[in-house]
Each structure stands twice: as C-alpha cells, then as structure tokens.
Chains A and B, each alone.
Chain A
Amino acid sequence: MAKPDPLFIYATRLGDDSLILGQRLSEWCGHAPTIEVDLSLANVALDLIGQATHFLGFAGKIEGRNRDADALAFRRDVLDFGNCLLVEQPNGDFAQTTARQFLFSTYQELLLDKLAGSTCEDLAAIAAKAVKEVAYHRKLASDWVVRLGDGTEESKTRMAAGLDWMWRFVDELFEVDDVESKLAKEGIAVDRSALRAAWDARIDAVLAEATLERPAARRPVLGGRRGHHSEHLGHILSEMQFLQRAYPGATW
C-alpha cells in the first residue's frame, strides 16, 4: 500500500488533537463543579469537535479514498490516531482538567495563529477561524489556573498536582518529525519547535500570577504522533466509536 500523503498525516494530527480533547472534555458534561463550568467545558468541547470536523474533512479530501470526517473519527483504530498524548490524558479532578486545557490551549493558540498563514488555503482558513475560539479557551483555562493556584491551600495543592501530572507530555507538543519538517519548509505546516519560546513565556506569566512553581522537568513521553498511545486512548475510542462499530453506517 502506498504511503499516506504527508498532508493527510498532518491534517489528521491536527484533527485528532481537537477530536480527542473535545471527547475528553465532553465527559464533564453534567458533572462539572458548577453549571457555569459545565457550560464552559461543553462549549470548549464543541469548538474542538468543530475544528476536528474541518481538519478531518480536509484530510479525507486529500486522501481521496472517500472517507469523510465521520469515517476518520469513528472507523480508525488506535494506531492510526496521530494526536499528542497530552489530550488523551484522563480528566482527573477539575484542576487536572484545567492543567491540560491550559497547557494545550496556550500551545494551540500559538499554532493556529501561525497556521492561519499557511500556504495551504484550506488549513489556513480553518486555522484563522478556530484561533479566535481558542483564544477563549486559553483565557478560560488561564483564569482557572490563577483562581485555583492562588486560592485555598487545597485548590493550590490540586492545581500544582494537575500541572505536575500533565507536564511530561509537554515536550511532545513541540516535536517535529520528517513529515512535518518537510511540510514546514514548503510553508504548509507550522514548525512546532519554533513555538516553544513564546509558549514558555505565556505559561510562566500565568504561573507567576497563580503563585505556582513551574513543574520540575520530567523525562518527556513521546510517540502519539506515530500512533504509539497510552492505554487511555483505546478506552476513549471504545466509547466514542461504539455506535458506528456496533451499527456500521448508522444515521439518524
């Protein structure tokens, strides 16, 4: 079988990040600490799933094998997912979810801001639209990091623990492999590694306001982009894909 088009791989990575995080956040629906938080997380999830629909729809078009966004979301298995490991991590408590959102949205806003200038018109259009929404996600998550970090002893402990749990998955966000470096040279993809300095600065500024220490450097865990996932992704997919697996092609 021919190797997949690099642009297909790149677009599915972008879409899978949004899809898996959107699915994860949806798990909060009806369980969040307050109705306002419940609504917020559901709204963020909705934005992310909207992004995923566009990225995966584009990926399917590039692939040319008649797979639409739904087919790619519901009928691929774990090894074919190219999301980063951060987004598939468990929700934990609200602080842990907040930590994941804060780290990811800060990264995603920087990424999409650059991707809006991509030479690929489709990717640029999706990014330009999505980045406006992600700015809200980043703001929401940052506000909660400050509120919990600079809150009670209990909330501070939990916020610090949440960040500590998620921190080992940060380096993967800025990892560039051959597929992406080639696309980046063509002006299609964003060179993720170039986003790190700006990301560090933004993260540090919020942590300072939250009176939180930056977590100690950890040995990075990598592999999500190549389909080497944690055990969590399989569980997410088993729930997310159940209906299409049990009743292939079901519509309503």
Chain B
Amino acid sequence: MVKGVNHANPSPLPHGRERGGGEGGRLPELAVSPPLTLPSPPHGGEGDVARLHAILLKIPDPEIPAVSITDLGIVRAVHEDRVVITPTYTGCPATLHIEQSIRRALDAAGFAQVRIETALAPPWTTDWISDEGREQLRAYGIAPPPKGAERASLRNETHAQCPRCGSMNTEEISRFGSTPCKALWRCNACAEPFDRFKCH
C-alpha cells in the first residue's frame, strides 16, 4: 500500500448506503473490486477503503451464513490500513473464526498488510444490523430483532413475527437458543418452531 496517500480516512460503516455507487443496492462486483482470487497491487487511499468494504460485504457470518458480517454490524470501521471489528457476544465462539475469515479474504485480495483490530466499545447492539441483514435473516427463517434495542428491553418483550407464516401469534420457548444471539420461539398459528434474533 502506498503510505501517506489520503491516509486514514475513516469510513465508519453502518449501514447500507455507503456501499458506494448503486441505488442503495450492492455494488456491481466488477465495478469496484477486482476478482478476489487475483490479488492486484493496492493503490492506497479511498479506492482501497471501498475495495475493503466490498470484500467484507461478501464474508458470511459462520453461524448464520445467509448474512454478511458487515450486515450484522460486526464490521465497525474500515481504514486503508486496518479493519475494526467487534464481537457480538463476549463468549461467541465464532469470533475467532470471523477474524480468520477476514484475514484469508484480505490476504487473497492482496491486502495482507491491512490489520484487523477488535474493539469492545461501544458494545455491539442488534440496532447495527442493516435493513438488508434483517431481511436476509427473515428469509433464512430467523425472526429479526426489532429496532430500538434500548427500548425493547428484557422487561418489554415484543412479540416476534413468525418468519414462515407471518403470524404474530407466537411465544418464546427458551430465551437461549442454538447460539448466544438467538432465542427459541414457536408459532402458534403454523405450529413451527423458529429462532429469533435476540434484541440486544
């Protein structure tokens, strides 16, 4: 990377719109990022940051592969020399796996010198899950968390909408599900159990 070219121009993620180009949609892949398998010398500056964003947007969450780590709000900031990520839950066993996935993707794209940093503060919240991410969760069969994690607290549990039939006639079976981030719910209308992403 050419140092000193427009350096450290932080591009705080969230959410959605800054993916460059496009009308709120994904970038046409070839427009900005070269094929990931063909490392090309990075040029430095904002072009790099955009390419890094594009790479990160393609890395799936290991537990919920339908959603990217960017859409889950795990990627917090992208600079030309480093990527900042945050764990979802402190004990989430996927944390290390995610870091390794990022490392592999960055190396493959010729960004071996870009560091990966982990920041705990501010703590991850489901409010950082993008609208695209929420829709992908729903399509995958996981009820997305309502927005407003602060308000929809533990004491004020809103009902989840069944991701299969759309009914609001649902109930919680267990606050703890198959991963730290999910609770186990059941739909009383279609009688199917489903995971709900906990509002956190």
The segment from B23-31, B102-110, B121-129, B135-143 that touches chain A is B121-129
Nearest B residue (CB) for A140: B175
Answer whether residue B184 sits at the interface, using C-beta atoms and an 8 A cutoff: yes
Note all chain A residues with C-beta closer than 8 A to B44.
Answer: none
Which of B87, B121, B176, B200 sits near A39, CB closer than 8 Å? B176
Note all chain B residues with C-beta closer than 8 A to A36.
Answer: 173-174, 176, 184
Note all chain A residues with C-beta closer than 8 A to B184.
Answer: 36, 39
Given contacts A50-B89, A53-B90, A132 and B123 within 8 Å (CB-CB): yes
Answer whether residue B14 sits at the interface, using C-beta atoms and an 8 A cutoff: no
Contact B121 A51, beta carbon cutoff 8 Å: no
**How far is the CB of A50 from the nearest CB of chain B, in Å?**
3
Note all chain A residues with C-beta closer than 8 A to B120.
Answer: 54, 125-126, 128-129
Q: How many residues of A contact B (CB 8 A)?
A: 28
A-B contacts at CB below 8 angstroms, number: 72
* C-alpha spacing A133/B91, complex, angstroms: 10
* C-alpha spacing A125/B180, complex, angstroms: 19
Answer whether residue A236 sits at the interface, using C-beta atoms and an 8 A cutoff: no
Given contacts A39-B174, A125-B121, A129-B120, A135 and B154 within 8 Å (CB-CB): yes
Answer whether residue B146 sits at the interface, using C-beta atoms and an 8 A cutoff: no
Answer whether residue A46 sits at the interface, using C-beta atoms and an 8 A cutoff: yes
Given contacts A40-B174, A140-B176, A133 and B122 within 8 Å (CB-CB): no
Note all chain A residues with C-beta closer than 8 A to B178.
Answer: 39
* C-alpha spacing A136/B175, complex, angstroms: 8
- Output the residue of A42, A132, A133, A139 with the most chain B CB within 10 A: A132
* C-alpha spacing A119/B14, complex, angstroms: 28
Contact A40 B175, beta carbon cutoff 8 Å: yes
**How far is the CB of A109 from the nearest CB of chain B, in Å?**
11
**How far is the CB of A187 from the nearest CB of chain B, in Å?**
17
15 CB-based A-B contacts, threshold 8 Å: A36-B174, A39-B178, A43-B180, A47-B180, A50-B87, A51-B91, A125-B121, A126-B120, A128-B122, A129-B87, A129-B120, A129-B124, A130-B90, A133-B90, A136-B154
Chain B positions within 8 Å of A, measured between CB atoms, are: 87, 89-93, 119-124, 154, 173-178, 180, 184, 198, 200
Chain A positions within 8 Å of B, measured between CB atoms, are: 22, 36, 39-40, 42-44, 46-51, 53-54, 121, 124-126, 128-130, 132-133, 135-136, 139-140
Known: A121-B121, A140-B175. 17 other contacts (CB 8 A): A39-B184, A40-B176, A44-B176, A46-B89, A47-B180, A51-B91, A53-B90, A125-B119, A125-B121, A128-B122, A128-B123, A129-B120, A129-B123, A132-B123, A133-B90, A135-B154, A139-B175
7 smallest beta-carbon distances between A and B, as pairs? A50-B91, A50-B90, A125-B121, A36-B174, A46-B91, A129-B123, A43-B176
